[in-house]
Amino acid sequence: MSVKTIVLHMNRVEGDLEVHVDVADGVVVDAWCKGTMYRGFEKILVGRGPLDGLVITPRICGICSTSHLLAAARALDDVFDVEPPPDAHRVRNVTLMTETVQSDIRHTVLMFAADLVNPAHRSDPHFEEAVRRFEPFRGESVVEVIRETKKILEIVAILGGQWPHSSFMVPGGIVSVPSSADLQRCLWLLRSFQSWYERQILGCSLERFAQIESVAELHAWLDESPRHQNSDFGFLLRAMRSMRLDEIGAGPGNYLSVGSLEMPNDTRIKAVQDSHFLEPAGFAQGTEVEAFEQESIREHVAHSWFMDYPGGRHPFDGETRPYATGAEGSKYSWAKAPRYADRVVETGPLAEAVMSGQSLIRDMLSQGPNAMVRQIARIIRPVRLIPAMYAWLEEARGDGHYYVKPKPLQNGRGFGLCHAPRGSLGHWVEITDGAISHYQIVTPTAWNASPRDSENRRGAMEEALIGTPVKEVDNPIDVYHVVRSFDPCLVCTVHTLRKPLNREWNGAA
């Protein structure tokens, strides 16, 4: 059996990422996700003051900096045993949701949909329309998305001072007190974004789309109006089916959500199943949800470029000791391999939809997980988030209480969890003699693009690639679709290695 190796060099996914796949008889038979850049933020923080993490960790990522700020602030809330006032929770939540909805739209239209204009799809009846909408830098929808997502980020700038890399959250709340005019400006920006999202992306109101609870109802909605069919979502739905994205990228079938968007007191928004979070925590095998316990998180390093330790360790006990072996031995990534309750899991909007009990997504999953449903969960997530954003901006007071001063301490430890746009994010911190003595971060990309663990089990993305068809080794389009569905948020250069011939192809991705 002839085996060909395809190497995708993927940059800037919370560090650089390579994906290697082995192809035999036209399908992927093995896969490796390789984080190729060591950044060392966890080591940088050791010895610094506890508040330094609020400035340094948002610099981990320029796309989800608010997510890291919130996780760091929540970790310090835990360390100092302080509960922020309800209005502080509202502002924290709104800024995180703003970052999330813009990321969801940008990724779908600018990054994921760009693969629909790949020459491999030229014979598909949707190809010409895909080019008109999604051609990089020129597509009509691309131009719209760049303009509108830039506008909504002004909400973070108003409430947090800047975006990205703001540092307005602190243990006990936030340091910037929004005025009534600030809150009204944010509401105006949100109304403008909602109007555009309904017109351009959905083709209907949020309320109408929220009524869809099954695949059958989704089909009926699509046929209900030309506006639905011709919206970006309606077109993506038709194109993804035609290009058979519902037949690839299953993944492990296990889902993790750590819980996010803490519910403030006296809010009109109702949580799912009396959860403390708008996005409830949980672990699911398929759609069967169990309670989440952060104590069940372990990080493995058997195949990571770090000094070995047996099995997996909880982040409070984790170590970050670089050990670069290059291509020698079994180590191949700077990413660790997080596992939950000794299971490989996927995180992200699909997992969050499962825990939130979204009937449409759960019905789609009953037919099997795939790249299409993963992307659908992302592009429709704003339907769930925008109403809560309205409520919390309207409920917040211009003369409200936004900060509780914590008592000084010299020693303590705590953790902060939230959902970044790509999925579950956690920060674990220990303070000794007034300085950070231990800091561990587990990112969504670590969960999804992890290497193998100490039991030699593939990570979620590696597993999702197994069985992916490869019709052209010089242009493995279905591999792109699967990887993109996890939102690695980058541009690929694909190197196809086939002895004795080496070829390099720059993909439209």
Q: Cα-flanking dihedrals φ and ψ of residue 200, to 5°? A: -85, -45
For the chain, the 3-state helix, strand and coil shares in percent, each to the nearest 5, are: 45, 20, 35
pLDDT in tens, 485-498: 999 643 222 223 23
pLDDT in tens, 443-487: 998 999 999 999 999 999 999 999 999 999 888 999 999 998 999
CB contact at 8 A, 459 and 482: no
User: CA separation (Å) from 297 to 46, 101, 207, 454?
Assistant: 22, 27, 37, 14
What is the number of domains present in the chain?
1
Say if residue 148's pLDDT is above 90. yes
∠ CA(376), CA(380), CA(382), 5° rounding?
A: 150
∠ CA(476), CA(477), CA(482), 5° rounding?
A: 105
Q: What is the DSSP letter of 264?
A: P
The packing angle between helices 381-395 and 180-196, to 10°, is 160
Rounded to whole angstroms, how far apart are CA atoms 52 and 40?
A: 15
Return the closest-CA partner of residue 491 out of 21, 6, 17, 4: 17
Domain with 171, as residue range(s), is 4-505
Mean pLDDT of 63-82: 96
Q: What percent of the chain has pLDDT over 90?
A: 82
Say if residue 501's pLDDT is above 70. no
Reported in sequence order, the residue ranges of 258-363 that DSSP labels E, i.e. its strands, are 260-262, 277-279, 282-285, 288-290, 297-300, 312-313, 337-340
Reported in sequence order, the residue ranges of 303-447 that DSSP labels E, i.e. its strands, are 312-313, 337-340, 412-420, 423-432, 435-442
Say if residue 98's pLDDT is above 70. yes
Q: What is the DSSP letter of 429?
A: E
Q: Domain with 298 in it: what CATH number? A: 1.10.645.10
Mean pLDDT of 192-210: 98
Q: Model-level pTM?
A: 0.93
Supply the mean pLDDT for the chain: 91
> What SS3 state is found at 256?
strand
pLDDT in tens, 107-138: 999 999 999 999 999 999 999 999 999 999 99
Return the closest-CA partner of residue 245 out of 119, 125, 372: 372
Rounded to whole angstroms, how far apart are CA atoms 264 and 173?
A: 12
